[in-house]
Amino acid sequence: MDGNGKKYPLSMRLLHWARAVIILGLIWSGWYMTSLPETTPMETFDLFYPNHKQFGVLVWLLALVHLTIRWRNRAILPETPSSLKPWEKTLSHVVHRTIIALTLLVPVFGYCMSSSFTQSDGVPFFIFGELPELLPKNDNAFEVFQELHELSAYALLALVVLHVAGAIKHRLLDKGGETDVLPRML
Ligand code: HEM
Ligand code: HEM
């Protein structure tokens, strides 16, 4: 059946799918809100920007929780299928690790961008209100973080597309085989 016959712990499966939905929503909302024309009513910006920021901070915290759970369960996690070709194993590890790194970095760049921007409205976080602004205001630094946030977010999207293509390929072509790993994440 699925891979080694083992599943990821329920907490990791729930977190994987919650993070996937939020991250895809953030990439869409980020793309959408930055392509709105200047004539767009202010309420639309006021809906998108604060929510993009607070869900971005939330998904950063969820990534930390996920990493902690992953580390605590490292002895019982499903193994990489042994029948994968060496290049497939390497690709899968590199893609997973880079995705993990980017899910931590993209929100940090977002926070640094907002925190250094002189015109920023701050970074809200649900019932906790505004988060402290830790960086000094500097529009040159803001432009660098803006560029880094954009580049890293679209790099994350490209890797997620590759990740999903891999999952679908193994599901459709190796269904029920050792490399059909989708059931262990469901
Ligand atoms: C995994 C989390 C996140 C993802 C995937 C993400 C993704 C994106 C994307 C794709 C864009 C559009 C970039 C462009 O086309 O110019 C964007 C814009 C933006 N993001 Fe994020 N973001 C995340 C977290 C955050 C966080 C935590 C903050 C702030 C605390 C933030 C603040 C912003 C702002 C202010 C913009 C608009 C930049 C501009 O006006 O040029 N993002 N984000
Ligand atoms: C933004 C979206 C997504 C992100 C950030 C993401 C991230 C990850 C990461 C980091 C892992 C490695 C888990 C670990 O060992 O800790 C993983 C595993 C997995 N993901 Fe995703 N994922 C996303 C979307 C999806 C989607 C849409 C699918 C389904 C088509 C999917 C299917 C899987 C499967 C099957 C595994 C297990 C792979 C294995 O057991 O070797 N993921 N994902």
Residue 26 beta carbon below 6 angstroms from any ligand 1 atom: yes
- The DSSP element (H or E) to which 169 belongs, if any, is helix 139-173
Contact (CB, 8 A) for 29 and 51: yes
Do residues 93 and 80 lie in contact, with contact meaning Cβ atoms separated by under 8 Å? Answer: yes
> Does the pLDDT at position 175 exceed 90?
no
* C-beta contacts of 2-5 below 8 A and 24+ residues apart: 2/180, 2/181, 2/182, 2/183, 2/184, 3/78, 3/79, 3/81, 3/178, 3/179, 3/180, 3/181, 3/183, 3/184, 4/78, 4/79, 4/81, 4/178, 4/184
Q: How far is the C-alpha of 36 from the C-alpha of 160, rounded, in Å? A: 25
Report the predicted TM-score, pTM, of the whole model to 2 decimal places.
0.95
Q: Across-strand partners of 124?
A: 130
- Which residue, judged by its Cα, is nearest atom 3 of ligand 2? 20
Looking at the CA of residue 182, tell me the nearest atom of ligand 2.
35
Go through the domains of the chain in sequence order and give each one's CATH number: 10-185 (1.20.950.20)
Span 136-170, pLDDT tens digits: 999 999 999 999 999 999 999 999 999 999 999 99
Ligand 2: atom nearest CA of 103 is 5
For 104-138, write each residue's pLDDT tens digit. Answer: 999 999 999 999 999 999 999 999 999 999 999 99
* Residue 34 CA to ligand 2 centre (angstroms): 27
Distance of CA 2 to the CA centre of its chain: 25
- Structure tokens of 126? 């649900």
User: pLDDT value at position 174?
Assistant: 86
pLDDT value, residue 177: 86
Give the burial class of 13: count Cβ atoms within 10 A of its Cβ; 0-12 exposed, 13-18 middle, 19 or more buried. Answer: middle
User: So what's the pLDDT on residue 176?
Assistant: 80
30-76 pLDDT, tens per residue?
A: 999 999 999 999 999 999 999 999 999 999 999 999 999 999 999 99
Q: Band the pLDDT of 5: cuts 50, 70, 90.
A: low
pLDDT at residue 3 in the model:
43
Average pLDDT over residues 1-12: 75
The DSSP annotation for 53-109 comes to: HHHHHHHHHHHHHHHHHHHHTGGGSPPPPTTS-HHHHHHHHHHHHHHHHHHHHHHHH
Choose among 19, 30, 16: nearest CA to 152. 30
How many angstroms is it from 16 CA to the middle of ligand 2? 7
CA 162 to ligand 1 center in whole angstroms: 21
The helix (run of H) or strand (run of E) holding residue 42 is: helix 42-72
How much is the average pLDDT of 78-90? 93
Query: For residue 67, how far is the Cα from the chain centroid?
Result: 13
Q: 23 alpha carbon to ligand 2 midpoint, in Å?
A: 12
